[in-house]
Amino acid sequence: MKKNIIIVMLTLLLAGCNAAEKPLSPGTFTRYPKANAELYKEIKKDLQIEDLFADINGIDLQCVDLSQFDLRDYKEELFLASFNSETVWPDDSQLPDSFKPEELMASAFKPSLGIDSIHQLGIKGQNIGVAILDHILLCDHVEYKDNLKMYYEVNLNNLPDSYYISHYHGSAVTSIAAGQNVGVAPEADIYYIYDYSTSGRTEEVKSAELLAENIMRIIEVNEQLPADNKIRVISYSSGIPDDNEVLNEAILKARENKIEFIYSGLFDDVFSGLRKLPYKDGDDIESFVPVTTELQRYQNNYQRLAYIDKIAVPFQGITTAGASNTDDYVYYGAGGVSWAAPYLAGLYALCCEVKTDMTLDEFINIADATSVPYDFTYEGIEFHYSKIIQPEKMIESIINMVTVNEHE
């Protein structure tokens, strides 16, 4: 009874919100936000080297004019930085010898660990819907515009013009999940909601309840889709509180509608991360090392031996779509677990294409069962990973499972 009351409350809240907004349905586009290059260039035009390289975990060179700087002493920083198609570089003589930005970006252009081999089997997420809850999206980007079926904004009224400009985060997560070149599920359909009020601007309880409303919106959209073209997963690149009843009920309601919720908080318990080394082959397991934050944690604790028993997935050393123009791309040498949730959501979409009744629990179990160990030494530390994700083996396992079931 209590569960039903919560769901009714969510439905009433949605009805009130939608009254002042465009009707919520597949095909709705609230608007088409502008690219951010002009704004970013203006904000960053007076930055000096000490500003740009102050935090090695957050070096953002997107849309920065570096043409007058001597960067030869910043090799480590440059390889961990993010930069995009709008970054202006100095002459090669002012760069470290081994740093080739165009080559580096190109070397990380496809998703790692065998995803391309899955695509060659014809498994690309066709007729699978991926919902994304994130920042303002550059809807016209060439990487995903043909996949984008809905873009819906809420709680974004009477704000300054700067809030109506696309955000790099949205383009990145969308392209990782379902971009046509850099995406894990390049033929999946994308249904996107941006809610200004859930972007760290409200207290945690209220934010969780607003997130619950958006999950209910996705369910509402899904009910209007044909039976063979449903949304199967929501990608949310943030954490969630453990004990918010309204949010938990919304997630459960989504699951009852065969929509799973994949969020960054899964990396607290189930998953860990990998960084692809510069220029290396992303399909070769030996191209990977721990993500920067994990490495630093062991270094700061003076540890020389590390055992990681979570399922490791790649999310650093990647190229994604950017938001500075409609054909902008960004290389992320570092980066956080925000990039991991859409990778998993895209992989889940591929699995759903093969096995239509796939669940998140089953997905995690298969990822665990097909993973492989990987031992190596890096920066003087012995790393023992017990579970590196193997997408190709996952798909093979699911194909075998489906084949057996068909013959029973």
pLDDT tens for each residue of the chain, 408 residues long:
444 444 444 444 444 444 345 679 999 999 999 999 999 999 999 999 988 998 877 899 999 999 999 999 999 999 999 999 999 999 999 999 999 999 999 999 999 999 999 999 999 999 999 999 999 999 999 999 999 999 999 987 777 776 789 999 999 999 999 999 999 999 999 999 998 776 555 556 678 899 999 999 999 999 999 999 999 999 999 988 878 899 999 999 999 999 999 999 888 889 999 999 999 999 999 999 999 888 888 888 888 888 899 999 999 999 999 999 999 999 999 988 899 999 999 999 999 999 999 999 999 999 999 999 999 999 999 999 999 999 999 999 999 999 877 766
d(CA 8, CA 396): 42
> Residue 6's pLDDT is what?
43
Cα–Cα distance list, 134 to 238, 263, 341 (Å): 9, 11, 12
Q: Is the dihedral of CA 239, 242, 246, 248 positive or negative?
A: positive
User: pTM, whole model, 2 decimals?
Assistant: 0.92
E strand or H helix that includes residue 4: helix 2-18
Residues 6+ apart with CB under 8 A from 20: 157
Q: What are the structural domains, with CATH classification, of the chain?
A: 2-35+109-403 (3.40.50.200)
Look at strands 381-388 and 271-276 and give their pairing.
Answer: unpaired
